[in-house]
Amino acid sequence: MFKKLFTQKQSQLEDGELAVTGTVPSHIAIIMDGNGRWATKRALPRIAGHHEGMKTVRKITRYANDLGVKVLTLYAFSTENWSRPKKEVEFLMRLPEEFLGTYLPELIEQNVRVQTMGDFASLPEHTQRAVQKAVDSTRENTGLILNFALNYGSRAEILHAVKAITQAVNDGKLSPSDITEQCITEHLMTRDLIEPDLLIRTSGEVRLSNFMLWQLAYTEFWFTDVLWPDFDENCLREAIQVYQTRSRRYGGLEEPTK
């Protein structure tokens, strides 16, 4: 029932019909799922699906930027993904180098600013170098923020925030009465970002998988059976159109029609 309520089928749109009217979500977060299944369906190694998914990242980033989306957060690698086969993890840790090495000039030209959230220090050095170069090269850009959740887990993020707040109380910098929702928000990795308006998950899975649990409290969800390598501008356009039909009341009552 939950899946039926929130899952939308991909519509077939004609080329050139990608304009979106109405309010566009300021922050879109995407759980990019289904790369491995995409490859398996084609009798290809799983890494081929991840490589194809990288092309989708480029395509969706460009389209989101064209639409005026302010923040695009992509769940690229979770803290749980380390349990995958060693060769697959090693390939995933090389993908940022390939993606950013290939598309960084395009991101700069499009005024996109790259940033990350997650346990950056635990990533391999070669991954850190590639990501840091992209962050430094785009630091002054003022367009879309392309935020990669890399080695990220929401529970670890919240735990880190709680420890930081506890230390601040122990040091006398905060009192217990200062600990509010806003205080917690300011200690999260997304402290400088607006909270997501729309969450998209591909591949037919209907769960959050330890992704932005605090930040998604009032986010609109949209799930699709489309695998991430097959996700395109038409899919994003449809997700936004569904989002535009939702009434976001934040726990209150919908205003009566005048």
Q: How confident is the model at residue 252 (pLDDT cuts 50, 70, 90)?
A: low
What pLDDT, on the 0 to 100 scale, is given for residue 247? 83
Q: How confident is the model at residue 13 (pLDDT cuts 50, 70, 90)?
A: very low
Q: Catalytic amino acids?
A: 33, 81
Percent of residues, the chain, with pLDDT higher than 70:
90
Among 149, 176, 71, smallest CA distance to 113 is for 71
Total residues belonging to the chain: 258
Sheet of 220-223, strands arranged across: 113-117, 145-152, 71-78, 27-31, 198-201, 220-223
The distance of Cα 110 from the centroid of its chain, to the nearest Å, equals 19
Task: Find the range with the poorest average confidence among 1-10, 13-22, 170-179.
Answer: 1-10
**To which CATH superfamily is domain 24-153+195-245 assigned?**
Decaprenyl diphosphate synthase-like (3.40.1180.10)
Is the pLDDT score of 30 beyond 80? yes
What pLDDT, on the 0 to 100 scale, is given for residue 9? 36
pLDDT tens track for 57-81: 999 999 999 999 999 999 999 999 9
What pLDDT, on the 0 to 100 scale, is given for residue 248? 75
Cβ pair 225, 203 in contact under 8 A:
yes
If you search the block for the tokens 């084609």, which residue do you land on? 42
Q: Provide mean pLDDT across the span 124-140.
A: 97
Q: How confident is the model at residue 18 (pLDDT cuts 50, 70, 90)?
A: confident
Q: Is 53 exposed, middle or buried (0-12, 13-18, 19+ CB in 10 A)?
A: buried
What pLDDT, on the 0 to 100 scale, is given for residue 129? 96
Among 250, 183, 175, 181, smallest CA distance to 219 is for 250
Cβ pair 146, 114 in contact under 8 A:
yes
Q: Mean pLDDT over all residues of the chain?
A: 91
Q: How confident is the model at residue 255 (pLDDT cuts 50, 70, 90)?
A: low
Task: Find the range with the poorest average confidence among 3-12, 145-154, 206-215.
Answer: 3-12
As a 3-state breakdown, the chain gives helix, strand, coil percent values, each rounded to 5, of: 45, 15, 40
CB burial of 212-227 (b: ≥16 within 10 Å; e: otherwise) equals bebbbeebbbbbbebb
What is the C-alpha to C-alpha distance for residues 138 and 161, in angstroms, rounded to an integer? Answer: 27
Q: Provide mean pLDDT across the span 76-92.
A: 94
What pLDDT, on the 0 to 100 scale, is given for residue 83? 95
Q: Provide mean pLDDT across the span 119-142.
A: 96
The predicted model scores a pTM of: 0.90
pLDDT tens track for 195-248: 999 999 999 999 999 999 999 999 999 999 999 999 999 999 999 999 999 987
Cβ pair 222, 242 in contact under 8 A:
yes
